[in-house]
Structure 1
Amino acid sequence: MTDGTHRNDNRKQKGAAAEEAAYQYLLSQGYLLKDRNWRCRSGELDLVMEYDDWLIFIEVRSRGSNVRYGTAAESVDMRKIRQVRGTAEVYLHYKQTKNKNIRFDFIAVQFNADLTIASLEHIENAF
């Protein structure tokens, strides 16, 4: 009998690897980091980036090579969208950010079995 520890560790490892891949991709595209894994009571923002006159809240999702549970993009449901938007409101208030264009992007990372990246898709204005 196995406990869920290995599965949870693997999930955390995939999540961290996906966030790092998304971060590196965005840097290569000219985005500037404002915050990473910003937390408050309402939730967590994976990446907060600036690009031109935009402040962009980026949700990163990943999936392994087995898509039995759906794709990374399919994992963003209305509950998650509401949570990210609500957390972004708290962020804007807390950081006293005004007069910025706001955007919500999504990055989906698909991994191979050996945790190398099979694909990375950046969807601007995702929600």
Structure 2
Amino acid sequence: MNNNERIVPAVNQRVSRNEVGQIGEKAAADYLERHGWRIVERNWRCRSGEIDLIAIPPEPEHTLVFVEVRTRRASGQFGTAVESVDYRKQRQVRAVAQVYLHRHGGAELALRFDVAAVTLDRELGVTGLEWIQGAF
């Protein structure tokens, strides 16, 4: 199988939430890299939780961006990806970011929290990516 092929699940085959999330995170990271961002961390974890992506944009370079990636299928029944980043999730991402900064430094950088909302079709292809800068 070459790199351009997608794995298409059988009609009755269920795809895990984890697999759907991985597809969305890869799409968001690829999008950032195509636009000149430098990915610092992917799926950074600590006891408080996880941050999907930590990146530095091309402009302004002195900004550290914590990215929450949410992925939904177009036929999803549970609301939009953006709606799923509720106050509880925002609080958790901020707490994890504090741990990251404590361990790795970065106090001299401006901080920002973005959301990448990825939409997939039935075959798990990316049909949309909405980027919300400074989402919370």
- Given the two structures, how large is their TM-score scaled by the length of structure 1? 0.91
Specify the alignment match of 1:106 in structure 2.
115
Deviation at 1:29, TM superposition (A): 1.0
Residue-pair matches, total: 121
SS in 1 for 2:16: helix
Superposition misfits of 4+ residues, deviation over 4 angstroms: none
Q: From 47, 50, 74, give the equivalent of 2:53.
A: 47
Greater percentage in helix:
1
- Asked whether 1:66 is paired with 2:75, we answer yes
Separation in 1, partners of 2:66, 2:74: 26
Specify the alignment match of 2:27 in structure 1.
21
Which consecutive residues of structure 1, in runs of 5 or more, have no partner in the other structure? 1-5
Deviation at 1:11, TM superposition (A): 1.1
Separation in 1, partners of 2:37, 2:74: 28
Superposed CA RMSD: 1.1
Which consecutive residues of structure 2, in runs of 5 or more, have no partner in the other structure? 1-12
Q: From 119, 125, 128, give the equivalent of 1:119.
A: 128
SS in 1 for 2:55: strand
Q: Percent identity?
A: 45
SS in 1 for 2:28: helix
